[in-house]
A = this chain, B = another copy of it.
């Protein structure tokens, strides 16, 4: 089947999905059940990917992302069930009014239509994306990375068959069975059928999609996140927040990559922070003033301020003021999440107001930028752009609206 045929099928399926209610929930519950029942099939496909990956010398971190286990399949199924049972995001009246001329105007939520998702190594994205898009009344076309090709194919087959058995149209969930660069490129140009394209992955993928796409894109997930330790910060709180934000899960986008420390507190704070990070052997790359205080820090290069390490590495810089911290963040941040640790009311307020990122924190870890933690439910990603949705994108952020206007012959 050509990509164009897939687009056509998705568009047709989207039309059907747009008017379904409880049927979406039932189909997704059945699909979650199928994941459990047919886990042998999925695990054996996953072994194929893992063997290829090992032969090709993938890093242990990548292999771990790729690996499925009974437990991980159970997690995927539970996540699908949870999304299935969420309140239906479609058909909600967002705003409603009777105008002076008697027109009854309602703005209601409607599905986006056809959602394309390009993702990298994690095969669980197939199940998450399927559940979120279908619950939001949209058809989805997935294009996964080549490392997880067999796993994605198996999961998509299991889910797709269950959805069809439950009465959903065939085009509701489709996987492009070609993990080449060309297929990604073709999906980015599928203007006639795709309502939005969401890339999930590293900075390279996001950049390629942003530059190559001719369909609307929602950028997600690149997180060059910062913590600024202000002059008035409580040092132990700062150390705990930094330790958590760097080490609780370094491979995710809401982990921090750079710490900025006010020079007035640097001599006391840096050794405490470094000691805590030392428990997990975090490599420090510091500016000259940092290196003067912390002999274990390596000198940081310009590119360290720009890098999303996604690893046990942290860039550290001493700054002389809140202004300098704000400028550094404005220059290097990817607009995801930044935090200040401070006891100053004024500085907290300025930081909240002036930092132009999706989530801005005072005295808390950036690791909370997450649909579940924000009370939005499961998410398809964290939007780092300003249009449409910013921050965690749950079911509501996967919808559009239209205006319904009921009259009795009004003319203007």
A332 to chain B, nearest CB (A): 14
Evaluate contact between B211 and A214: CB separation under 8 angstroms. Answer: yes
**A405 on the B face (CB < 8 A):** yes
A99-B373, A218-B387, A390-B402 in contact; A362/B113 too (CB < 8 A)? Answer: no
Evaluate contact between B402 and A358: CB separation under 8 angstroms. Answer: yes
Q: In the complex, A142 Cα to B14 Cα: how many Å? A: 37
A76 to chain B, nearest CB (A): 22
Q: Which residue from chain B places its CB closest to the CB of A245 in the assembled complex?
A: B411
Contact of A359 among B99, B214, B216, B405 (CB under 8 A): B405
A residues 191-236 near B (Cβ < 8 Å) are 195-196, 210-211, 214, 216-218, 234
Q: Which residues on the B side are within 8 Å of A385 (C-beta)?
A: 216
A residues 373-395 near B (Cβ < 8 Å) are 373-375, 385-388, 390-391
Evaluate contact between A375 and B97: CB separation under 8 angstroms. Answer: yes
A394 to chain B, nearest CB (A): 12
Q: In the complex, A391 Cα to B400 Cα: how many Å? A: 11
Q: Which residue from chain B places its CB closest to the CB of A376 in the assembled complex?
A: B95
Evaluate contact between B105 and A375: CB separation under 8 angstroms. Answer: yes
Q: In the complex, A353 Cα to B373 Cα: how many Å? A: 34
Q: In the complex, A189 Cα to B384 Cα: how many Å? A: 19
Q: Which residues on the B side are within 8 Å of A408 (C-beta)?
A: 363-364
Contact of A363 among B110, B245, B409 (CB under 8 A): B409
Q: In the complex, A103 Cα to B386 Cα: how many Å? A: 23
**A368 on the B face (CB < 8 A):** yes
Q: Which residues on the B side are within 8 Å of A234 (C-beta)?
A: 409
Evaluate contact between A357 and B409: CB separation under 8 angstroms. Answer: no
User: By the criterion of a CB under 8 Å from any partner CB, how many residues of chain A are at the interface?
Assistant: 66
A99-B373, A375-B105, A388-B388 in contact; A363/B412 too (CB < 8 A)? Answer: no
Evaluate contact between A244 and B411: CB separation under 8 angstroms. Answer: yes
Q: Which residues on the B side are within 8 Å of A99 (C-beta)?
A: 373-375
Q: Which residues on the B side are within 8 Å of A18 (C-beta)?
A: 356
Contact of A361 among B15, B362, B388, B407 (CB under 8 A): B407
Q: Which residues on the B side are within 8 Å of A110 (C-beta)?
A: 356, 386
A323-358 vs B, CB cutoff 8 Å, 1 = contact: the mask equals: 000000000000000000000000010001110111
A103-B368, A364-B103, A375-B97 in contact; A401/B405 too (CB < 8 A)? Answer: no
Q: In the complex, A404 Cα to B349 Cα: how many Å? A: 10
Q: Which residues on the B side are within 8 Å of A368 (C-beta)?
A: 103, 405, 410, 412
Evaluate contact between A360 and B403: CB separation under 8 angstroms. Answer: yes
Evaluate contact between A412 and B248: CB separation under 8 angstroms. Answer: yes
Q: In the complex, A353 Cα to B354 Cα: how many Å? A: 42
Evaluate contact between A240 and B409: CB separation under 8 angstroms. Answer: yes
Q: In the complex, A241 Cα to B408 Cα: how many Å? A: 10
Q: In the complex, A237 Cα to B218 Cα: how many Å? A: 43
Evaluate contact between B386 and A400: CB separation under 8 angstroms. Answer: yes
Evaluate contact between A357 and B412: CB separation under 8 angstroms. Answer: no
Contact of A407 among B97, B363, B405 (CB under 8 A): B363
**A72 on the B face (CB < 8 A):** no
Q: Which residues on the B side are within 8 Å of A112 (C-beta)?
A: 386-387
**A365 on the B face (CB < 8 A):** yes
Q: In the complex, A409 Cα to B240 Cα: how many Å? A: 8
The winner among A195, A196, A243, A362 for most chain B CB atoms within 10 A is A362
Q: Which residue from chain B places its CB closest to the CB of A350 in the assembled complex?
A: B19
Evaluate contact between B362 and A406: CB separation under 8 angstroms. Answer: yes
Evaluate contact between B404 and A360: CB separation under 8 angstroms. Answer: yes
Q: A216-B216, A352-B406, A390-B403 are in contact. List 13 more A-B contacts (CB 8 A).
A: A18-B356, A243-B411, A357-B402, A360-B402, A360-B403, A360-B404, A361-B405, A362-B405, A364-B405, A364-B408, A367-B412, A368-B410, A373-B412
Q: Can you name 8 A-B residue pairings with CB atoms under 8 Å?
A: A19-B354, A99-B373, A216-B216, A241-B411, A352-B406, A360-B405, A365-B412, A367-B412
